[in-house]
Structure 1
Amino acid sequence: MKQIIKHLQSGDWRALVASFLYFDTGFTVWLLYGPLAPFIVKDLALAPAEQGFLVAIPLFSAAILRVTLGNLYQAADGRWIALLGIVLSALPPLVLVTLPGIPSLALLLVLGVLLGMGGASFAVALPMAGSNYPPRIQGLVLGIAAAGNIGAVLDGLLFPPLARHFGWEMAMSATLPMLLLAGIAILFWARDRSPKSGSVRHAFAAFVANLIALVLLVLAAHDGWLGLRGKAAMLTLPILGVFFAIAILPARYREVLKERDTWVIILIYSITFGGFVGMSAYVSLLLVNLYHLGMVEAGLFMSLLAFTGAMVRPLGGLVADQISGVRALRWFLSGIALADLLFALWTPPLAAGIAALLGLYLCFGLGNGATFQLVPHRWPGKSGLMTGLVGAAGGIGGFYLPVAMGIAKESTGDYHAGFAIFAALATGALVLVVALRRQWLSWSLPAHAPAEPAAGVPQAAAAAAD
């Protein structure tokens, strides 16, 4: 603990706290639909696939917005970008509080795009926090800043009881004081010491165009404007969004997409962080549908799971600082694959199911911290851009999880097929990490960690050679 405190004193801890609060409140807003979904579904009488689509829209929005927000961060002061994000995140609860009657699904989908600004804060909060500390402790610092995903705990604890007593529309207004607190912290404590390049005007225009395009895409998917309806529209929506976001990026930033390592990290993070946010958005519905829990009880279990995943994220970064994210990810991806496989083959009773979900969330959180330990080492000087791109992958993975679960439930009557898909993806990512470990260790291995022994050379002999 003393060592951790010493590390934190080597930079600006107030800036770190401000970044944490920004991401924490953003995360709370981002996942609002998750714990409130059982109440919304009851009012709007949504089919299982529509339920998954509704809770997935903020995840989709955040994923795409992170790309252009990361681009904007490369050019502009992160403090002002954060304040803009807070203002936009406050619009959905303000609209729902003042709107008479039950809102339509189309309106909720549009507001879900704005809720995605909370999750897009990731592309600003993490590099802004990291800019205040030396490279040698980036895993710890980024893990602490990203532990703001503990905001999901508040979602499960606070909003279902409020929704039961005051209605789910009014419950959403409880986010407004949190957003105000985060805005004050950003205004007075935050500092952005990252080097800047590019045109602020062009980057801001790209962000605005991206936001407008997302609203239109979501409405098009809902109303069938693109000739696609139902499940086909849901599954193709992220592809169209990613294509548009990447198309409006400056050409020099698209160069990183030509690198193999970019795509491998994107796959890994779509599983670790995508799994965390996607399951957090859907787990209340999962527990209600699978185990017939009450809405408030399901929210409490969501809080327990989200708390577990959020609190171990800094530990994942710290472990990765010691042995490298490459080695750590082999264990964490294995755990994710095994937990998903368990649900793919069997529907465990409630106690065993909660235990398996806890194990899954442990691996999600540890894997998130380990993955982002690799980013500043592999792409120095491009942390804002890569945080946006990799974070976008996490949001895309988060979008597909509830959509796939909803489609599996509607098509087969259970969730086995959905879990099987994600078990296969985690296994594929694990195979890639094992195959690339020697190359990645050349740039990710901490100076004090033992080197990877050559094939056929015992570990003891390698240590003696050092």
Structure 2
Amino acid sequence: MIKKLQLPLQTMNLVLGFMVWVIISALLPFIREDIAIPADRLAILTAIPVVLGSVLRIPLGYYANVVGARIVFISSFILLLFPVYFISSASSFSHLIIGGLFLGIGGAVFSVGVTSLPKYYAKEKLGLVNGIYGMGNIGTAITTFAAPVIATGIGWSKTVQLYLILLLIFALFNVFLGDRKEIKVKTPVMEQIKGVYKNEKLWFFSLFYFITFGSFVAFTVYLPNFLVSHFELAKVDAGMRTAGFIVIATFLRPVGGWLADRFKPLFLLMGVFLGLTAAAILLAFSPSIGLYTAGCLTIAVGAGLGNGVIFKLVPLYFNKQAGIVNGIVSMMGGLGGFFPPLMLSFIHSVTGQYSIGFMALSQVALASFVVVVWMYYQDKLAVQSEVFNSTGQGILVTDPGGRISAVNPAFTKLTGYSEEEVLGKNPSVLKSGRQSPAFYRAMWSEIMERGSWQGEIWNRRKNGEEYLELLTINAVRDESGDIIHYVGTFSDITYHSSGNASSG
């Protein structure tokens, strides 16, 4: 029963964490009425929680494996009591900076669930599970729209204090409903980092999440003001359109995970980045409100689906190091939510428009599409290499001139020759002398006529021992019909045959 509760419990934990994470930015118009905040420092104040909320995801993801999600969530909510109370009684800009720094813990809890929840479900369900958990980022929308309404009635300070009650309630929920028997993984953090930091897939996934989650946050931050200033929409209308963007991106996250469970995740990511590329190019040309809406909705769909697909890929490729990898990837996504809004604001301040920023997004998305295509074909090559290296049959590949270009480990085991000893040589190094020249002429005649040959043949190992092998030779041709390789596969049948091989 407790195990079944972990997905809804941890998802609600994430909702609360994200609600707390954005308290300052949501209530900033009210806070500025009581505390003098220079206009040039507003961006710093709203960015501080995002930075720590991103960086802390690595240790929280790690400790979710070491002590379990229950302890990490309880500790996080208790620690958040202090900055939340501190902010509610703040009287200066420096107070807000200090409190905002530690609010980052609320955003950092994201890496806890994506590390813990895969322990409770089969691999084929991880995309949907992580997608459902990721819907917890709706917490940012809840605070963004609910906190100002409440603050209008009771003031911003008392509104912030309401979060103290929620934090205490959820800490108690985790005390009683958290899983005390969660599987623990206690590999030292530096050992885990050393095991993954050289893997290029870690950094590719980080780039992908930087873009998908970053575009989600960037549009959430910039849309309300842009729609009012550029299209002269009413504030309520702009707010509702932004809310629609958030809802679409949030609810498509589990859809992306669900699709990744059923189809090839890398194919889905190709579609995501092509969509983001096209939408960003459209927005760069400052179209009418209709086309602008279509472009923004495409961004929402791409960001939502992409976020879901990426956290299907992490446990797929990093099963044993999921904690630290989830932490790093989600950290990069958090930073992706930090830099694009600043970049858009800077570009707008210099040029008076957002077009260059949108074109930059399109080019990064297009580059990501190329990387995903490369990853897909690298995976195919890796599978082929694994088959080549792990098969029990000896495999020998030659060029059209008959010089050996590759052999597999089974070849070395069966013949005694290492790859270095036979590369560039003719397969005749294995000849036993039992077959006559006429036998080889007939064999090659059949290969040239039919493209393949199979039969029994006596060969000699490196140590001089003769053995009988069942050999198949195939000619590999290119699209124009020219032979580019000969591939021989063989197995030792010395003790399984009566020795009726052709011996000339």
- State the match for 1:124 in structure 2: 112
Match of 1:28 among 19, 24, 40: 19
Give the Å deviation of 1:64. 0.6
Check the 8 A contact 1:152/1:306 in 2, yes or no: no
Compared CA separation, residues 193 and 309, structure 1 to 2 (3 A): same
Q: Deviations over 1:344-369 (max 9, x none)?
A: 221543x5434432321121111001
Instruction: State the match for 1:175 in structure 2.
Output: 163
Tell me, yes or no, if structure 1 residue 55 matches structure 2 residue 46.
Answer: yes
Aligned 8 A contact 2:78 2:168 in 1:
no
Q: Which residue of 2 aligns with 1:318?
A: 258
1:275 corresponds to? 215
Q: Distance in 2 between matches of 1:92 and 1:287?
A: 33
**1:181-219 deviation digits (Å, cap 9, x = unpaired):** 4323322222263332146xxxxxxxxxxxxxxxxxxxx
Alpha carbons of 1:439 and 1:169: their partners in 2 closer, same or farther (altered >3 Å)?
farther
Supply the RMSD in Å over aligned alpha carbons. Answer: 2.8
CA distance in 1 between counterparts of 2:38 and 2:13 reads: 32
Name the TM-score, length of structure 1 as normaliser. 0.74
Kept in 2: contact 1:154–1:303 (CA 8 A): no
Would you say the 8 A contact 2:53–2:104 is kept in 1?
yes
**Could you list the runs of 5+ residues in structure 1 that have no partner in the other structure?**
1-8, 200-248, 445-454, 457-466
Structure having the larger proportion of residues in strand: 2
Q: Which residue in the other structure is 2:275 paired with? A: 335
Question: Which residue is equivalent to 2:338?
Answer: 399
Residue 19 to residue 418, structure 1, CA distance change in 2 (3 Å): same
Q: Residues 118 and 295 of structure 1: is their aligned pair in 2 closer, same or farther, counting only changes over 3 Å?
A: farther
CA contact (8 A) 1:156 1:300 kept: no
1:359 maps to 2:347: no
SS in structure 1 of the partner of residue 56 of structure 2: helix
User: Aligned partners of 2:194 and 2:159: how far apart in 1?
Assistant: 41
Secondary structure of the structure 2 residue equivalent to 1:12: helix
Q: From 183, 195, 198, give the equivalent of 1:194.
A: 183
Deviation, structure 1 residue 389: 0.6
Q: Return the letter of the residue paired with 1:130.
A: P
| Inter-CA distance 98–343: structure 2 relative to 1 (3 Å threshold) | same
Superposed counterparts of 1:29-428, under 5 Å: 29-39=20-30, 44=36, 46-47=38-39, 50-99=41-90, 101=91, 103-104=92-93, 106-191=94-179, 193-198=182-187, 250-291=190-231, 298-346=238-286, 348-349=288-289, 352-428=291-367
Query: 2:61–2:326: 8 Å Cα contact kept in structure 1?
Result: yes
Greater alpha carbon shift after TM alignment, 385-394 vs 52-61:
52-61
Number of matched residues? 383
- Counterpart of 1:211 in structure 2 is none
Distance (Å, rounded) in 2 between the aligned partners of 1:440 and 1:40:
52
Shift of 1:409: 2.4
Distance 1:443 1:168 in 2: 57
SS of 1:426 mapped into structure 2: helix
Alignment CA distance shift 1:337-1:162 (3 Å): farther
Q: Which runs of 5+ in 2 are unaligned?
A: 384-477, 480-504
The answer to whether 1:14 aligns with 2:5 is: yes
Q: Report deviation, 1:20.
A: 0.6
Q: CA deviation at 1:280?
A: 2.7
Specify whether residues 73 and 378 from structure 1 end up closer, same or farther in structure 2 by C-alpha distance, changes over 3 A only.
Answer: same
For 2:183, give the aligned amino acid: S
Q: State, as a whole percentage, how many aligned pairs show the same letter.
A: 28
Is the Cα–Cα contact under 8 Å of residues 196 and 321 in structure 2 kept in the other structure? no
Show CA shifts across 1:152-179 (max 9, x none): 2312331232344444444333433433
**Larger relative contact order, structure 1 or 2 (CA cutoff 8 Å, min sep 6):** 1
**Shift in alpha-carbon separation, 1:178–1:390, aligned structure 2, 3 A:** same
TM-score (normalised: structure 2): 0.69
